[in-house]
Chains A and B, each alone.
Chain A
Amino acid sequence: MLKRLYHSSSHIGSNTIINNNLIESKIFNNAIKLIPKYGFSKNCINESIKNLKYSDSLQSIISWQSDKSYEFQLMLYFLKQKRQELENFTKNTKVEGVDEYEKLSKLIKYRLSLNSPIINELSQGMSQLILPYNLNESIDELYNLSDDLAFYSGDKSHSFDWYAKRFTIGSIYVKSELFMLNDTSENFENTQEFVDKKIDEFKMLSDTYNNIEQWAIFNGISLINLIKSQLIRG
């Protein structure tokens, strides 16, 4: 659990999310562009290899990487790539806000906006994440995202609230993403409103230390059930 490591400031390259020089990164990066056409599928990866004029045998590179299905690997790579884009965003833009919560809300909205090119295929990708044998890696990646969101928004907690915060941010993110799947408003305005509302609740509750703990525990239980019911409906 929680396998995130010490972040170094002097030792460049200790904490890279994605190494774009690797051949499999090139295949995945190109495949993500093809998702609107082929979906989160094995075929999408094959088409990407063809498209790059690589030899068909390179498919095996992907299966050497892990014993997971191509579909799941593509989804996981997509999540890491977007997390990398979020990191680049925070390096190039100063995220303004009166407090941590306002910054957090902006960061979540930015991350969600990266879903829009593939919004019609997203539920297909997400259903890969909640398969029981994929759940561990999915939760690790969700935790990485919440930790990034907490850090970029300026979190400075040292105690149990550190855990409660990451947990709550993760669940707000997932709920907002599920909301986005069915949102037909222009520029996903309704989703943005939804994020603001959830962050307001979070801010109100975290004024009391005990409440945030209880709230996080309650949310944890209902979250997995919520994801399942939403994906079946959607």
Chain B
Amino acid sequence: MSKQYFIRQFSSSIRNYSSAKLNSSQIQYGPLSKAQQAFLDRIIRVDQAGELGANYIYMGQYFVLSSKYPHLKPVLKHMWDQEIHHHNTFNRLQVEKRVRPSLLTPLWKLGAIGMGMGTALISKEAAMACTVAVETVIGNHYNQQLRILMNQYNVDLINKETGEKVEKDDLESVKLNTSPELAELKNNISTFRDEELEHLDTAIEHDAEKAVPYILLTEGIKLICKGAIWSAERV
């Protein structure tokens, strides 16, 4: 034991002495476990389906409301554009990361456009209540995903030159602890979550709570969204 201890002390003092911290080009990220891969697979599939849904809901709302209420037109358009960007991002990830899209995609399209148009046809307040419900569920869902990505994605870092395991202290920056791939994903998800919460605020500013019957509408839609998330993760 003591011999190993000295070797370790010795090598770490050499490391400190040379004090050359490793940069991104000098390290390599170890493989993900099957469970980690499976979770990423699900994240991308369900988020792609979710953003497709959001895109189509706003499309349906815009179609019905933009001519009747000109003052809502730019508000809806801004949110819709953001959803299109979210949707495109997950479409790209689905292709690049070779994730199977949800088999029920045609159904999500139909359901979402129906929900968007349907609530908008009831009233503009009902459309906003729909937004409140959807964004609440999606915002929570993104937070859950971020928590898991923060806590359960530690992998070994390997020094490219020596093939040895790299300790965290030897990195040039703590950011290098996370691979660019996972950093990008987390970054996207947290940006999107913030934007979803903005949509939520916008909807409340536009009298979502005046929709009748508000509770029935929002709770019903929340249930539908949760059911859809459950299926899109699996099928």
For residue B66, CB closer than 8 A to chain A, the reply is no
Would you call B98 and A10 a contact (CB within 8 A)?
A: no
B interface residue count range (under 10 / 10 to 19 / 20 to 34 / 35 or more):
20 to 34
Would you call B98 and A151 a contact (CB within 8 A)?
A: yes
CA distance A159 to B94 in the complex (A): 11
Would you call B91 and A6 a contact (CB within 8 A)?
A: no
Chain B interface (Cβ < 8 Å from any Cβ of A): 28-32, 34, 37-38, 40-41, 44, 48, 91, 94-101, 103, 105-106, 109, 155, 179-182
| A14-58 residues at the B interface, CB under 8 angstroms | 14
CA distance A8 to B98 in the complex (A): 9
| A132-169 residues at the B interface, CB under 8 angstroms | 147, 151, 155-160, 162-163
CA distance A163 to B41 in the complex (A): 16
Q: List 15 A-B contacts (CB under 8 A).
A: A4-B100, A5-B34, A5-B41, A6-B32, A6-B38, A6-B41, A6-B44, A9-B96, A10-B29, A10-B181, A11-B155, A13-B30, A14-B37, A158-B48, A159-B109
A6/B99 contact (C-beta < 8 A), A11-B31, A11-B32 known: yes
For residue A2, CB closer than 8 A to chain B, the reply is yes
New contact pairs (6) apart from A6-B32, A14-B37, CB-CB < 8 Å? A6-B44, A8-B181, A10-B179, A11-B31, A11-B32, A158-B95
For residue A12, CB closer than 8 A to chain B, the reply is yes
Chain A interface (Cβ < 8 Å from any Cβ of B): 2, 4-14, 147, 151, 155-160, 162-163
Q: Which residues of B contact A157 (CB under 8 A)?
A: 101
Q: Which residues of A contact B94 (CB under 8 A)?
A: 158
